[in-house]
Chain A
Amino acid sequence: MSRITVSEERCKGCLLCTQVCPVEIIRQSERINQHGYKVAEVPAEDMEKCTGCASCATICPDVAIEVWRGKKPKKSA
């Protein structure tokens, strides 16, 4: 499976990532970072839906998102 991490120090809460996620798992959290921005998050229970497409990271103006792509399950077969 794939996943993303959001750097809460860098995120400015612009929410552009929430618009481009094809599986619509990114949302605004209730957490406010030291700059006063409400940061983006993926709820833990939704992360397994992440496809690792990196659309969110591509559109993020603050390089706040890292994308990890898991090995495809087929490979073990």
Chain B
Amino acid sequence: MSKANTTVAPSGEELVFTRPASLVDRPTHYCPGCHHGIAHRLVAELLDEMGVIENTIAVASIGCSVFLYNYIDADGVESPHGRAPAVATGVKRARPDKFVFTYQGDGDLASIGMAEIIHAANRGERISVVFINNTVYGMTGGQMAPTTLIGQKTTTCPAGRCLEREGAPIRMAEIIAHLGGTAFCARGSLDSVKNIRQAKKYMRQAFEVQAKGFGFGFVELLSGCPTNWRMTPVAANKRIADEMIPYFPLGVYRDVVADGTCGSMVAGGE
């Protein structure tokens, strides 16, 4: 919850949870139970808590979350599909004093944008990436994503994803962690209160490694897409716990601050 809010009512009640200031007061276009709303809120809370909202340039991607810029009260630019890390590279190189983050889905980041995310991480661009993994292309209507689980039915693998035919689901956090410029990399989940609170801690670290100039920050968030999974929001959250987390384990995959290797990251920087 946001620490920025300390409203106290005449009765002595304290408002301990409300919309963060950096989240625009506008109902989202997302479907019921979609986790983009949670991720947006966490981003906005962190921008408020870190005091960087006025200094932020948000880089939106393609998919349901292209409208990120309608909800986060920061300057923002739209990227072609998958190119957000390249656009963010250009933004950060042009304005190194700004806080720059991308917000990308799994079709965008792990399929068409694979080259851009790998090389932005490898160069150690001082940007932060919020990666929403919901194992499906949402906006286009539920097609197979690179993260679609084996056996999961989508509109382009109607019989279920097949290992022999379509390959294995890609684990991005594990890949990004091993690249030279990555300063922080973790996978969280938005399926439970406990996991959401932990995810926010990961996001804070992914943001702070940029703010401190240590390198590239990456956080993968396992998220629900009830509409394209053809299930209720409650069942979708259960699916994350039962099927996604076992394949996409949660945790920190790289942390140069904890490793004590952040000095070398700074030396190898811009």
Q: Which residues of A contact B (CB under 8 A)?
A: 2-3, 9-10, 12-16, 19-20, 35, 37, 52, 54-55, 57-63, 65-71
Given A14-B233, A16-B33, A20-B192, A62 and B13 touching (CB < 8 A)?
A: no
A62 to B31, CA, bound (A): 10
A14 touches which of B1, B17, B19, B33 (Cβ 8 Å): B33
Q: Which residues of B contact A57 (CB under 8 A)?
A: 1, 17
B224 to chain A, nearest CB (A): 9
Contact present for B30 and A68 (CB under 8 Å): no
Q: Which residues of B contact A9 (CB under 8 A)?
A: 27
Contact present for A62 and B12 (CB under 8 Å): no
Contact present for A20 and B37 (CB under 8 Å): no
B13 touches which of A54, A60, A68 (Cβ 8 Å): A68
Q: Which residues of A contact B233 (CB under 8 A)?
A: 14-16
B32 near A: Cβ within 8 Å?
A: yes
Q: Which residues of B contact A (CB under 8 A)?
A: 1, 9, 11-19, 23, 27-28, 30-38, 41, 192-193, 196-197, 226, 232-234, 237
Contact present for A67 and B196 (CB under 8 Å): no
- For A65, the closest partner residue in chain B by CB is B17
| 5 tightest A-B CB contacts, nearest first | A61-B37, A12-B32, A67-B17, A14-B33, A14-B233
Q: Which of A3, A9, A13, A69 has the most CB of B within 10 A?
A: A69
